[in-house]
Structure 1
Amino acid sequence: MPKIGVEQSLTAVQQELQSKGYEVVQLKQEQDATGCDCCVITGQDQNVMGIQNVVTNGSVINAHGMNADEVCQQVEQKLNQGQ
């Protein structure tokens, strides 16, 4: 099952993904994204200082303005594109 990294504040998204059987990892630090197939971020602190470090080859989904179900649909879509 794919490993999904989710920012800490997105509790509803974490629960929704877990209910669908995904392995969910909380993104507390940058290195937590290592090995994730997909990451979900709030978008609030996205690229604040203009620094971009690549820590995962997986897709990154900005959850800003989406509910948990919409985010899960995006995750599934991104994962299906990678196959």
Structure 2
Amino acid sequence: MFGDVCSLSRHVTHPGTWAEGRLSGGLEFRYLGAHPLAEDNSIQSNGYNEWNLTLDYRLENGFRFGESSLRRCATAALSETMRQRP
């Protein structure tokens, strides 16, 4: 059903003395290739990829807070296909 699918990620914890293992972060890349958007395969997506970046800090009492940045890179081919459809 789906074409190419890929997900790669890396999560690390900072071992430094000032953070004592409480600072961590991650980077993830995901790719979803071409796939049908309708059951009869009349509309096809060109796929997309995205990058996700996270940064977390854990306090001594165990409370954790963080920030995430998500960047999705999609193609404009779907909107063009929808315009051409009768």
The TM-score, its normalising length taken from structure 1, stands at 0.26
Higher relative contact order (CA 8 A, sep 6+): 1
More strand by share: 2
Larger Rg belongs to: 2
